[in-house]
Structure 1
Amino acid sequence: MNILLFGASGNIGSAIADELLSRGHTVTGVTRTGRIEGAADREGLTVVAGDATDAATVADLSARGFDAVASAVGPRVGKEDDRKIIVGTAKALIEGLNRSGVRRLVVLGGAGSLETSPGVRVIDSPHFPEMWKNNALAQIEALGLYRQADHLDWTFISPAKLIEAGERTGTYRKGGEQLVVDAEGNSRITYPDYAVAFVDELEQGNAVKSRINVAH
């Protein structure tokens, strides 16, 4: 497949790019600067500059013959306006893809709106970190926008409660609206294994027009 990937230089975006390239897909990575270190030496990877919160940019880039669009855009926590970037990107993707006619969209979501018990979300916990609250609220708003985007075959992939650097095992468990936890009640996944799940969904399309949650 030929994939347009917004947010390709971040921890999660770069893991998704690596996974796509390892499976023989072609990737055009969009970053704010138009640069990814070492990109020139990576077969199948092209890098362009672009603003994911600008619908005209999304429309222009996605109209260039891509099979699907992916987004791993996220603000630097504590340093940028979470809502401006997360909700702004959602609005731009929805409008821009409507203009270009591309239907398939897979996006990095958040875990804050996942349920830990019926009617109780991760974000509702009194122990939810304050520094992540604005990010979680913005992701909840973005998910609501995607759910109204009837012209898109979207998938919103929420990671585990903890996503961090680590090895690629190639395995993960998948859930829906409930937080996926292990036998000890922990919810975690590494960047590379989240990328495995993300690319699996791009290839297989098993969760169109829905949100899924992936964890070890």
Structure 2
Amino acid sequence: MRILLFGATGMVGSRIAAEALSRGHEVTAVSRSGKPVGDATPVTGDASDAAKVAELAAGHDAVASALAPPRDGSAPAAPFLATNAAVVDGVRTSGINRLVVVGGAGSLEVAPGQDLVDQPDFPDLYKAESLAQRDALGYYRTVNDINWTYISPAALIEPGERTGTYRVGGDRLLADAEGNSRITAEDYAIAFVDVLEKDTHPRARIGVAY
């Protein structure tokens, strides 16, 4: 499979690239810097430019987005939503019908009608980013003409061991018997590439965790 990956230099994106490459897929790693990511083909590009997205997507089988909201202290919601809309427009124009997106955990429910990001103990440091991700998910749920999947991680995702195990859920936050919700970036990448390969969960959000 030929995969175009946006946000390839980030913590999650670089692990998705590594996982896909380890399975024999061809990965074009797109970033603003054009920085090399393992054996992926590095490309400089701006995901907020729909025409550029369409140009880069040509010749690929699927597009993967590991983009994150801006972390420069500005309000991230509007620019992040605009970037996601540009990616969708570019994928639509390219004729490719597969887009898999790294999502956020904040929009997962801890109880019916109660999102994680709205809980009183949710860290202020991550709130604006989580709300921006929730807005993006709301946008994806209006997109009916391309085959997208939005994959939310556990509440805690960080570098760690590649165990090869994970669980898949829906809109409810997944936690273990002790109430911990976590996954390593390496195992999240396994779940992500599995979804790309198997073309599962069309036009849906799923959550992955231990």
TM-score, normalization by structure 1: 0.93
Partner residue, 1:2 = 2
Distance 1:31 1:162 in 2: 25
- Aligned to 2:186, which of 181, 192, 210? 192
Letter in 2 for 1:61: L
Aligned length: 210
**Equivalence map 1:50-199=2 (5 Å):** 50-62=45-57, 64-75=58-69, 77=71, 79=73, 81-199=75-193
Q: How far does residue 81 in structure 1 lie from its aligned partner after superposition?
A: 4.5
**Equivalence map 1:196-211=2 (5 Å):** 196-211=190-205
The Cα offsets for residues 11-63 of structure 1, whole Å up to 9 and x where unpaired, read as 100000000000000000001111126x4xx2xx201000111111111111x
Letter in 2 for 1:8: A
Distance 1:86 1:168 in 2: 29
Distance 1:81 1:14, change over 3 A: farther
Listed as ranges, the gaps of 5+ residues in structure 1 are none
Higher mean alpha-carbon deviation, 80-89 vs 7-16, is at 80-89
Q: How far does residue 78 in structure 1 lie from its aligned partner after superposition?
A: 5.3
Distance 2:119 2:68 in 1: 23
Distance 1:51 1:81 in 2: 19
- Deviating above 6 A after TM superposition, structure 1's stretches of 4 or more consecutive aligned residues are none
The Cα offsets for residues 73-130 of structure 1, whole Å up to 9 and x where unpaired, read as 1146454552245312211111111211111000000111111111111011100111
Work out the percentage of aligned pairs sharing the same amino acid.
55
Distance 2:77 2:45 in 1: 19
User: Residue 32 of structure 1 contacts residue 49 of structure 1 at CA under 8 Å; is this kept in 2?
Assistant: yes
SS in 1 for 2:178: coil
Q: How far does residue 135 in structure 1 lie from its aligned partner after superposition?
A: 0.8
Distance 1:163 1:77 in 2: 17
TM-score, normalization by structure 2: 0.96
CA RMSD in angstroms comes to 1.4
Distance 1:22 1:80 in 2: 37
User: Residue 4 of structure 2 contacts residue 27 of structure 2 at CA under 8 Å; is this kept in 1?
Assistant: yes
Listed as ranges, the gaps of 5+ residues in structure 2 are none
Distance 2:12 2:75 in 1: 19
User: Residue 175 of structure 1 contacts residue 213 of structure 1 at CA under 8 Å; is this kept in 2?
Assistant: yes
